[in-house]
């Protein structure tokens, strides 16, 4: 069976200004013809009227009737064609407007997408540059000895290596990016300090000035003007706290351990949230399972069924875990403090 041929509506292809112009030209021609036909029809009707009034012969009246009918039919066809052209012109104008709007939307969307790609590429470059800045800042910080830090600002006091490296970085950023408007407490080691706009300064020039002061001090030591014992920055150990992570467990058997306060903690066979070190020790001993595991959830379901089936609560024997959370935290605090001191020794070396 042959498929019927698809006929595209005439206006479906009319999407350009040239197409619209062609429609308007044809409509204008038909409107002019329509006006001429209207005048011809008025004359034909008038002639027929006169024949009828004057009692003309039948043949002449028949010719006049035929002329009126022909002109009326032609005028009706032209009027219909003008109406159809009006519809097609309106449809073409609507399609052209829709195409223009779609083109504008696509241009705007494509511009945003291109800009997004450009921003992402530029941001990746900025990230790499900042990683380089971070590396350079770390190298600068590690290069400043505590004794040298003590000579940084003789007018205000002893700065730390971190304070000096921070000042170099902030002034350098303000110099490289004046529009960034960097505000910070540059001299945090001073008694009189507040956040203010950072003035730009060349880090190389700052280092040259600082280096000149250090060399001048070195000369004074050699000339015995001052002694070798210089004011040096001493890093005060910060307040160190041992982390207190916790873990949810299901105790398979009752057990006990010493809590952070030094008192015994008794945990029956059930679910508990306890300090992670104690939980890990109980799991290693086979006395508990982490609740957020398949094995832990299965064990908890068994405990619930066993508890529901019990009519009385028999006395429980608590296994001593042999673990003191208080002693563990004391040892961990000592370890953290030793690690901090070792880091300071490495920086001073």
Burial (CB count within 10 angstroms: exposed 0-12, middle 13-18, buried 19+), residue 278: buried
**153, 112: one domain:** no
Residue 38 lies in a domain: yes
Residue 126 located in a structural domain: no
Query: Is the distance from CB of 45 to CB of 68 less than 8 angstroms?
Result: yes
Of 86, 119, 152, which closes a domain?
A: 119
Q: What is the pLDDT of residue 268?
A: 92
Continuous segment of H or E residues that includes residue 320: strand 319-324
Instruction: Read off the pLDDT of residues 170-226 as tens digits, 9 standing for 90 and up.
Output: 888 888 877 777 666 555 545 445 556 666 667 788 778 878 878 888 888 888 877
The DSSP letter of residue 240 is: -
Please give the mean pLDDT across all residues of the chain. 80
Residue-number span of the structural domain to which 339 is assigned: 246-348
182 is a domain residue? yes
pLDDT at 86: 84
Residue 265 lies in a domain: yes
Judge if 84 and 22 occupy the same domain.
Answer: yes
Number of domains in the chain: 3
- Mark whether 16 and 87 lie in a shared domain: yes
Q: Answer yes or no: do 19 and 113 share one domain.
A: yes
| Tokens, residue 239 | 């307040």
pLDDT reported for residue 290: 93
Nearest to 269 by CA among 322, 306, 223: 306
Tokens of 234: 């001493």
pLDDT per residue as tens digits for the range 7-48: 444 444 445 778 888 888 887 887 887 777 788 778 878 888
Q: Does any domain span residue 227?
A: no
Distance between CA atoms of 275 and 282, rounded to whole angstroms? 11
SS3 (DSSP) at 7: coil
User: Within 7-145, where are the H helices?
Assistant: 17-54, 58-143
pLDDT at 7: 43
Would you state the pLDDT for residue 6? 43
For residue 130, being part of any structural domain is answered with no
CA dist 150 and 217 (Å) reads 11
Within this chain, do residues 188 and 289 fall inside the same structural domain, yes or no? no
Same domain, 176 and 115: no
Q: In the chain, which residues have pLDDT < 70?
A: 1-15, 153-158, 182-201, 231-237, 311-315, 344-349
**Domain assignment of residue 239, yes or no:** no
Q: Contact 265/257 with Cβ under 8 angstroms?
A: yes
Question: What pLDDT score was predicted for residue 13?
Answer: 45
Are residues 197 and 268 part of one domain? no
288 belongs to a structural domain = yes
Among 212, 144, 122, 136, smallest CA distance to 172 is for: 136
How far the first Cα of the chain sits from its last, in Å, is 95
16/114 same-domain check: yes
129: left (phi over 0), alpha (psi -120 to 50) or beta: alpha
Do 99 and 177 sit in the same domain of this protein?
Answer: no
Judge if 151 and 101 occupy the same domain.
no
Same domain, 289 and 338: yes
Rounded-to-integer distance, Cα 325 and Cα 244, Å:
11
Tell whether 31 and 105 lie within a shared domain.
yes
- Would you state the pLDDT for residue 191? 47
- Asked if residues 286 and 250 have their Cβ atoms less than 8 Å apart, the reply is no
């Amino acid at each position: 069976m042959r498929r019927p041929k698809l006929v595209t509506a005439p206006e479906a292809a009319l999407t350009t200004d040239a197409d619209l112009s062609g429609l308007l030209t044809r409509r204008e021609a038909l409107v002019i013809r329509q006006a001429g036909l209207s005048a011809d029809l008025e004359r034909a009707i008038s002639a027929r009227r006169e024949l009828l009034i004057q009692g003309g012969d039948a043949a002449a009246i028949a010719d006049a009737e035929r002329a009126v009918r022909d002109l009326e039919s032609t005028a009706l066809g032209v009027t219909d064609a003008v109406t159809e052209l009006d519809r097609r012109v309106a449809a073409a104008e609507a399609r052209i407007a829709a195409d223009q709007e779609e083109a504008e939307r696509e241009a705007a969307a494509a511009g945003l997408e291109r800009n997004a790609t450009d921003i992402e590429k530029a941001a990746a470059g900025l990230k790499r540059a900042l990683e380089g800045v971070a590396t350079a800042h770390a190298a600068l910080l590690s290069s400043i000895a505590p004794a040298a830090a003590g000579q940084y600002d003789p007018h205000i006091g002893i700065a730390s290596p971190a304070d000096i490296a921070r000042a170099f970085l902030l002034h350098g950023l303000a110099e490289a990016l004046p529009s960034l408007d960097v505000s910070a407490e540059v001299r945090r080691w001073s008694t009189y300090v507040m956040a203010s706009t950072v003035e730009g300064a060349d880090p190389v020039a700052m280092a040259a000035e600082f280096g000149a002061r250090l060399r001048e001090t070195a000369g004074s030591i050699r000339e015995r003007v001052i002694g070798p014992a210089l004011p040096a920055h001493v890093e005060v150990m910060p307040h160190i706290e041992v982390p207190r992570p916790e873990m949810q467990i299901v105790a398979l058997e009752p057990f006990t351990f010493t809590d952070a306060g030094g008192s015994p903690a008794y945990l029956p066979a059930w679910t508990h949230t306890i300090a992670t070190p104690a939980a890990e020790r109980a799991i290693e001993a086979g006395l508990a399972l982490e609740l957020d595991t398949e094995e832990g959830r299965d064990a908890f379901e068994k405990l619930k069924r066993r508890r529901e089936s019990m009519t009385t609560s028999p006395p429980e024997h608590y296994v001593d875990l042999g673990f003191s959370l208080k002693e563990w935290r004391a040892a961990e605090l000592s370890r953290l403090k030793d690690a901090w001191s070792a880091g300071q020794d490495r920086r001073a070396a």
